[in-house]
Chain A
Amino acid sequence: DIQMTQSPSSLSASVGDRVTITCRASQSIRSYLNWYQQKPGKAPKLLIYAASSLQSGVPSRFSGSGSGTDFTLTISSLQPEDFAAYYCQQSYSSPYSFGQGTKLEIK
């Protein structure tokens, strides 16, 4: 099974900051990597698919990059509504595993 490791597990930042979250796969997953945002009490929402493609309706301050084993999610200028949990997920092979999550909090 493929293991997904995110870092950091939690992060404090301020409105306007640039933030980067990292996700590492235990083996190459090419570009089979997706990012989701989850706000408290809500279902996850797709942000980025195929490592770098922005889902329709998602603000352009979100971007994704990487391939193989190392991936990043970047928020260029944090907005108040971005404080949430973020998860990466690989769709290269079953079982489709998630990272453990990164909780983004207000500093």
Chain B
Amino acid sequence: QVQLVESGGALVRPGGSLRLSCVASGFTFRDYYMTWIRQAPGKGLEWVSYISNNGSTIYYADSVKGRFTISRDNAKNSLYLQMDSLRAEDTAVYYCAREVLSTLSWFDPWGQGTLVTVSS
């Protein structure tokens, strides 16, 4: 079945770095845009970044622009999020999601999430 599994979440100090991974299975990964979405504890959902199927188009939320880098390795069915200069406000569960594109688009499925905690 279609599945996404994130990893890499951890406790990190402010100013530190972390790399999240998302491994896909059950579908042709190289055919799909992929997205990172986060959720701070007790808060709502915040879209973070997306990358096109071949990596040529990338977009970031203003809140992470210049600090986070999204990438993918289609040979490994993997999506990544390099997070640098981390701040306390980056503390959240990070989800990867497949973007289904037709005339419109939506996110399905989502991974189970990985928790990033930024604290000294």
Taking each of A34, A44, A45, A98, which has the highest tally of chain B beta carbons within 10 Å of its own beta carbon? A44
Given A87-B44, A96-B47, A101-B45, A34 contacting B106 (CB threshold 8 A): yes
> Bound complex: CA of A76 vs CA of B20, how far in Å?
40
CB-defined contacts of B113 to chain A, threshold 8 Å: 43
Instruction: Fill in one digit per residue for B102-120: 1 if any A CB lies within 8 Å of its CB, else 0.
Output: 0111111111110000000
B59 contacts A89, C-beta separation under 8 Å: no
Range, interface on chain A = 20 to 34
Known: A31-B104, A32-B104, A94-B50. A99 touches B110 (CB 8 A): no
Chain B contributes a number of interface residues (CB within 8 A of A) equal to 22
Mostly, the B contact residues are strand
Tell me whether B104 and A44 are in contact (CB under 8 A). no
Whether the pair A45, B45 counts as a contact (CB closer than 8 A) is no
- The answer to whether B106 and A45 have CB atoms under 8 Å apart is no
Listed in ascending order, the chain B residues whose CB lies under 8 Å from chain A are: 35, 44-47, 50, 59, 61-62, 95, 100, 103-113
Q: Are B61 and A95 in contact (CB under 8 A)?
A: yes
By beta carbon, the residue of chain A nearest B110 is A43
A56 → chain B closest CB, angstroms: 10
- Kindly provide the distance from the CB of A100 to the nearest chain B CB, expressed in whole angstroms: 5
B107 touches A46 (CB 8 A): yes
> CA–CA, A15 to B46, complex, Å?
30
Residues of the A chain whose Cβ atoms lie less than 8 Å from the Cβ of B105: 32, 91
A89 and B45 contacting across the interface, CB-CB below 8 Å: yes
